[in-house]
Copies of this chain bind each other. A is one copy, B any other.
């Protein structure tokens, strides 16, 4: 276990996220850069928020795996949604791909992303143990 979840009594609880996280034991910081709904060829997987969210999270999971980490090692997820989308579409899609691994989260509605066709971007901080 490399992440401890913080949930002060004075804060509302949510099954979907942690109020905070703290790393535990020696280890290294893994940063996942902003991921979008594009596949290995760089092509957009769809023009709807649910498809793009699923793919962005698959990409986040692939970067975590490449660094030896998985959902349970994530200290923070930040989800950037383009204005005009329904956040609930992203939440539903997240549950499908990510499963139930609450972590510290920030959700923002932004004016846009680097590519005007992108509807969502997701980045992450994780903590992984030192190599054996």
Contacts and interface: CB of A to CB of B under 8 A. Distances in A.
Contacts of A114: 87, 107, 109
- Report which residue of A20, A87, A107, A114 has the largest number of chain B beta carbons within 10 angstroms of its beta carbon: A20
A42 interface: yes
A30 interface: yes
Contacts of A9: 40
B113 A110 contact: no
Contacts of A119: none
Task: Bin chain A's interface residue count.
Answer: 35 or more
A10 B55 CA distance: 11
Contacts of A63: 6, 8, 11, 19-20
Contacts of A41: 12
B105 A34 contact: yes
Contact of A33 (B33, B34, B105): B105
Contacts of A75: 29, 31
Contacts of A30: 6, 20-23
